[in-house]
């Protein structure tokens, strides 16, 4: 039985979600503010966190950043705002998905199932990636350690960031569309409105830049997609 944490100060909505999700077989815990949400996330093991953006004490973005310092648990954010920038901002901070209020319970359940399925698949096996050490320029992948280093210094990556960068390195200089990257790395059907790939690439670029500003290796090929610039063939 998957354990889900709902962090939302709307008690009526939280109770409704908890009731519906319990009927689907999930174990639910509730937090009505950001600080309590962080405490529960640090104390217990959750398979998914549903996190509202507008919270008392600490907002959802602050909570997201705190949780991401120590956990890669899937996080689905809820927002009442219609602005695309807020959604993209959450994804860039490390959220895995988002829903805009109001939403249907059926859509929420479908997204929860998708996130837990991905997380379970990736944690259970790493069969899609061989165990050979791979070096491309200043970058080195050590799959057994689940680590990618730049000039010997490990990057602090989530599962999806690691897998995306590893995939890029295995296919250096090849151009991939967002759809191709999503299907290869996330292994899900791509939706045109999904910003997951763009947000993950943005976070990767930021983390690489923090270690070595000279390593601008993930290039945007305008109108097509992205590529990892390796050795010229």
Task: Specify the DSSP element, H or E, that contains 124.
Answer: helix 105-124
In the DSSP assignment, the letter for residue 51 is E
Task: Give me the pLDDT at residue 193, please.
Answer: 61
65 membership: H or E segment, kind and range: helix 60-68
Domain with CATH 3.40.50.2300 in the chain: 3-124
In the chain, CATH 1.10.10.10 sits at 134-228
CA angle 58, 67, 142 (to 5 degrees): 155
What is residue 110's three-state secondary structure? helix
Query: Two tokens at 69?
Result: 């310092």
Q: Omega into 102 within 30° of 0, i.e. cis?
A: yes
Signed CA dihedral, 46, 51, 56, 58: sign only: positive
- Is the pTM higher than 0.75? The answer reads no
Sign of CA dihedral 59, 64, 67, 69: negative
d(CA 28, CA 14): 10
Write down the pLDDT at residue 129. 47
Q: What does pLDDT average to over the chain?
A: 86
Query: For the structural domain made of 3-124, what CATH number should be given?
Result: 3.40.50.2300
134-228 — its CATH code?
A: 1.10.10.10
- Kindly give the confidence (pLDDT) of every residue in the chain, 233 residues in length, as a single tens digit, with 9 standing for 90 and above: 789 999 999 999 999 999 999 999 999 999 999 999 999 998 888 999 999 998 988 999 999 999 988 787 889 999 876 666 777 788 878 888 888 888 899 999 998 988 888 776 655 444 444 567 889 989 999 887 888 999 999 998 888 889 899 999 989 999 999 888 988 888 777 776 667 888 889 989 999 999 999 898 999 999 899 999 976 54
Terminal CA-CA length for the chain = 50
Distances (CA, A) of 174 to 128, 163, 219, 224: 19, 16, 11, 11
């Amino acid at each position: 039985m998957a354990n889900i944490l709902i962090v939302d100060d709307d008690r009526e909505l939280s109770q409704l979600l908890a009731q519906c999700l319990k009927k689907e077989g999930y174990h639910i815990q509730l937090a009505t503010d950001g600080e309590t949400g962080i405490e529960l996330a640090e104390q217990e093991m959750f398979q998914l966190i549903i996190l509202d953006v507008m919270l008392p004490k600490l907002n959802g973005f602050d909570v997201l950043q705190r949780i991401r310092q120590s956990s890669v648990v899937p996080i689905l954010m809820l927002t009442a705002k219609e602005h695309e920038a807020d959604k993209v901002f959450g994804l860039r901070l490390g959220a895995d998905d988002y829903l805009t209020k109001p939403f249907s319970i059926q859509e929420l359940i479908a997204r929860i199932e998708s996130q837990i399925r991905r997380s379970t698949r990736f944690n259970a096996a790493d069969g899609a990636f061989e165990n050979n050490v791979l070096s491309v320029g200043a970058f080195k992948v050590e799959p057994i350690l689940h680590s990618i280093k730049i000039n010997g210094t490990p990057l602090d990556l989530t599962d999806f960031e690691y897998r995306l960068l590893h995939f890029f390195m295995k296919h250096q200089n090849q151009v991939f569309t967002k759809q191709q990257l999503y299907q290869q790395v996330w292994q899900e059907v791509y939706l045109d409105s999904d910003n997951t790939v763009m947000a993950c690439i943005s976070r990767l670029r930021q983390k690489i830049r923090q270690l070595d500003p000279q390593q601008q290796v993930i290039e945007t090929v305008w109108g097509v997609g992205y590529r990892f610039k390796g050795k010229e063939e």
